[in-house]
Chains A and B, each alone.
Chain A
Amino acid sequence: MTDWAQTVGQIAASDDLHIAPFGADGATYGTPTWIWSVVVEGRLFVRAWNGPRSAWYRSAMTQRAGRVIAAGESGSDPEDGDPHLLHAVAEPWLLLQHLGNRSLRSDHPHRPLRRNSRETGPV
């Protein structure tokens, strides 16, 4: 299993994904935001909970790159957290193309894929 596949599995298990899109300079980023996510067939999709006008979504669509942080908000020390999950902190990511494959169906009853869902993957 690849590192990214492991990270996606951890995100799916924890429902704890934060993203920090790069700022206007394409490199700087600030405090990450918890984000809606769903994993379908090993692929990670994210969506703006508050719609495409939300600040993170607009930044993400402009820069199309940033950082994903799994379990980063826990603030756990490695002794009392899952070290494998903590290792997933600050993975670089790219927003991939718009969801075009309409045959994909989320098996999560409350998390359907929508038009503004975006697939996320490693750099």
Chain B
Amino acid sequence: MRARRPPSKSWADHEQQAAVDTSILLRFDGVTVTGALWGNATARSLIEQLPLSLSFSDYAGKEKLARLPQPRSLNGVPADDDADPLTIGYYAPAQVLVLYYEHVGHFRGIVRLGTFDDLASVRARTGPLAATIGLT
């Protein structure tokens, strides 16, 4: 396997763009998980669509993913990124919103959008997960 590459050169700009967080709530099965979305273009294009009701499913024992109704903007975000647990991400090739609860490595198409705060509650759900994401 290839060695992990460092973030692309545009990452510093990306971080600056992401200076303003937007607090969100993720609700499912009577559980409310807090989180935050950053200020990059992809996250902003998601925030504009909130609240959203999405159907998540487990994928490969590493992430929960839900297909979004439309593709998100990728303006100015790195073409590849690395997602740690507790990351909210967008996997562009599949047009899915992702809650990462395991490390998946560095990969083209991953865009980090923000973070969520409760790993155990997300990881524990094994079946389909109907959730809403909204602003606080």
Contact = CB atoms under 8 A, between A and B. Distances in A.
User: Most chain-B Cβ atoms within 10 A of its Cβ — which of A30, A32, A89?
Assistant: A30
A33 interface: yes
A72 B60 contact: no
A30 B60 contact: yes
A59 B57 contact: no
Contacts of B57: 23-25, 28
B12 interface: no
User: Most chain-B Cβ atoms within 10 A of its Cβ — which of A29, A33, A34?
Assistant: A29
Contacts of A73: 1-2, 105-108
Interface string B31-49: 0000000000000000000
A74 B61 CA distance: 23
Contacts of A28: 57, 59, 65, 67, 94, 96
A85 B107 CA distance: 15
B87 to A, nearest CB: 11
27 contacts: A20-B94, A23-B59, A24-B57, A25-B57, A28-B59, A28-B67, A28-B96, A29-B59, A29-B96, A30-B59, A30-B96, A31-B59, A31-B60, A31-B63, A31-B104, A31-B105, A32-B107, A55-B60, A55-B62, A59-B59, A73-B1, A73-B105, A75-B5, A75-B79, A75-B108, A89-B93, A89-B108
Interface of A: 16, 20, 23-25, 27-34, 55-56, 59, 67, 72-75, 77, 89-90
Nearest 7 A/B pairs, CB to CB: A75-B80, A30-B59, A55-B61, A31-B104, A55-B60, A30-B65, A34-B1
Given A31-B63, A72-B107, 20 more contacts: A20-B94, A28-B59, A28-B65, A29-B59, A29-B96, A30-B59, A30-B63, A30-B94, A30-B96, A31-B60, A31-B110, A55-B61, A73-B1, A74-B2, A74-B108, A75-B8, A75-B79, A75-B106, A75-B107, A89-B93
